[in-house]
Chain A
């Protein structure tokens, strides 16, 4: 089952914050976040494992609520380079293929 991402699109000015959500109807082992720019392959951002992880790098962080089967990606003080489509990929068992949500398009302007 494909995870559900929200919102579908976000428009920001530089310096503003955004939250992208990913929810699943199935129990999850892990959630993976990627950013894809037009015409390019997805770039790995981070992985969160079951057990309720939170992690971050620079101004991008994420959390995983295993009970709620939800993950959120937090982008703070957005930069122009953050523009792109963000996908969450979920796996219900370790080592299986990721199933991706429909994506959230983020546009950051100056």
Chain B
């Protein structure tokens, strides 16, 4: 299957700082990537759809000013959590679709805000 990577794998930061998470498609081009958030023992909740060269589409209840998404190239999308607080601690996972069908997930980034 297609490979999606994320960096970093985990990050611990202090409250009030900003954190950037990268999502890369390694062996294919992805015009659309998706960002999900998963709290412990819960489902994956879609945060936003990232489109290359245009603004991201955010799901209802997700603050676009807090979770900045940039999809500058066909292989890279970034999620920046601005002014992070402890309640933002979560598992953030990106995914990309191949050929409009199968959706492959990155390994995820565990964010802990102290």
Contact = CB atoms under 8 A, between A and B. Distances in A.
A20 to B, nearest CB: 14
Interface in A21-37: 30, 32, 34
A44 B105 CA distance: 8
Q: How large is the interface on A (under 10, 10 to 19, 20 to 34, 35 or more residues)?
A: 20 to 34
A87 B43 contact: yes
Q: Please report whether the interface of chain B is mostly helix, strand, loop or mixed according to DSSP.
A: strand
A95 B100 contact: yes
A45 B107 CA distance: 16
Q: Please report whether the interface of chain A is mostly helix, strand, loop or mixed according to DSSP.
A: loop
B43 A41 contact: no
B102 A44 contact: yes
B42 A97 contact: no
Contact of B44 (A40, A94, A95, A100): A100
B89 to A, nearest CB: 15
A32 B103 contact: yes
B107 A44 contact: no
